[in-house]
Chain A
């Protein structure tokens, strides 16, 4: 049994008498200690998937179909008390905007110890000791002194470390990182990615890493799922994905990153724009931007095919 099992997940909201779906039939497995990347552009459904796992979808968004299981326990439709037990306990999440994840009027120590009281029943000196240990683990110097500091007294990168400390303080099995470095400078981004990598090895965390940057994801993940228009386009281990993506969108997403190793000026943008949810029919969502599209691609959804450890959904791959 995998740590996280998602089957045929659909997330949507009602609009104009019908359901607008932003995640459309996603299936994935994440084993304990593994790192899986969810990659895609805005509107691909990657963040909604993360929120669905955490049962943090905001109304009117909700899971309309499918199953999400953590250690075999069904989360879809589970009572709030059960969810609260898992959320922040066995699984936790770090968001892009670290400031929004912290309460500006309380010192970070108070916020850390609140989490420990809620999930591990720790208070007083015991909670303090664990809080100090958590801050130490994320590389915050003089952690005991820093407990009394307020969020605004930390830099952006340090705030993200504090949030990661809160996320790991209860020793989760699953850590979801939703674009945790997008708002940060490149050098700080590299440090945070290194930290996540370290924590994963030290604590045996499973990581669900959400990003639009394939190169960044490749530095930390073993495997990636490429999403587009709410659907899985391709899933593969990092090495094979970078060597030879099976899906034209996987190829395009790899090629569009401006890299240091390429000839100056050699840019390969994906023309057009990402689709708007609700305007998507049953066709392959990438068909309008795809240079290799067949007539069939605009008519019906391609089946998901398995190729050893890889999966892809593209008519070009159907024999």
Chain B
């Protein structure tokens, strides 16, 4: 049981940047690695953070994991099964065990379907019997802190925080082993960020859910994650326990990220060292 749930083994995704077909043919194209030789272990029942700026490759990495995009090389092992070797029905079945929530929850919820239907369809796909759908949907709503009376609402009738909760509920409907959360709170108001983060922690504790939390905000990672990997230009440049990485960042890129976190009033900002003796 101590083996990591997910293992990325030297995963790469390369794009050919040369547009002229002849140059490509003669091997003169410049390859660009969106993700380069990334190896990462995601331990069970914990939240692992993946940090980096736009364009560093963190979202591409998530897409590779789910095989929404084909890796150029490397392996994705979910519970020991190599996803890169799977096709068709077997791939679909395995992929369902990983669910994703995005920054823009609204964009991932069909605006023409009420919450009841969004959850019902996911539950049915996961094999729930028709007569149990209503009860299961209500239970999911409660699990993410939404009142089941909201089941009749359409996405546009929900607030930003409620939409993100609904997106999480729909992901849970598939009974995933792994939840990939790609910047799930960065579009939310400050007062709601902490609400959603607390929800993720509760799900980790009550369901033992394993999560990969993708963010550019080191403060969020500090609160949620047991491990963190810092990504820059397609490569993982630093990894470890958030406390260690944040206290003594080794890579210049990590230092730059850390320095950019707003600290409140210039004079009065407490340093990390003071807070963690």
Contacts and interface: CB of A to CB of B under 8 A. Distances in A.
Interface stretch (B32-40, B77-85, B122-130, B261-269): B261-269
B233 interface: no
A258 B197 contact: yes
A266 B220 CA distance: 11
Given A186-B216, A258-B220, A274-B189, A216 B195 contact: no
Nearest to A267: B194
B223 A242 contact: no
Contacts of B133: none
Given A257-B190, A269-B194, A271-B195, A262 B264 contact: no
A243 B193 CA distance: 23
Q: Which of A212, A261, A263, A270 has the most CB of B within 10 A?
A: A261
A300 interface: no
B275 A261 contact: yes
A268 B194 CA distance: 7
B262 A213 contact: yes
B166 interface: no
B196 to A, nearest CB: 8
B54 A156 contact: yes
A264 interface: yes
A190 B218 CA distance: 14
Q: Is the interface of A mostly helix, strand, loop or mixed?
A: loop
Contacts of B275: 260-263
A215 B198 contact: no
Contacts of A238: 265
Given A156-B54, A253-B190, A273-B162, A239 B268 contact: yes
B259 interface: yes
Given A187-B260, A190-B259, A267-B197, A256 B223 contact: no
B146 to A, nearest CB: 11
A266 B270 contact: no
Q: Which of A239, A266, A273 has the most CB of B within 10 A?
A: A273
B257 A215 contact: no
Interface string A249-283: 00011001111111111111111011000000000
A214 interface: yes
A218 interface: yes
A260 B218 contact: yes
Given A213-B190, A259-B219, A264-B242, 18 more contacts: A186-B53, A187-B260, A188-B53, A215-B264, A218-B265, A219-B263, A219-B266, A253-B190, A257-B190, A262-B223, A264-B224, A265-B223, A267-B198, A267-B201, A269-B193, A269-B195, A271-B195, A274-B191
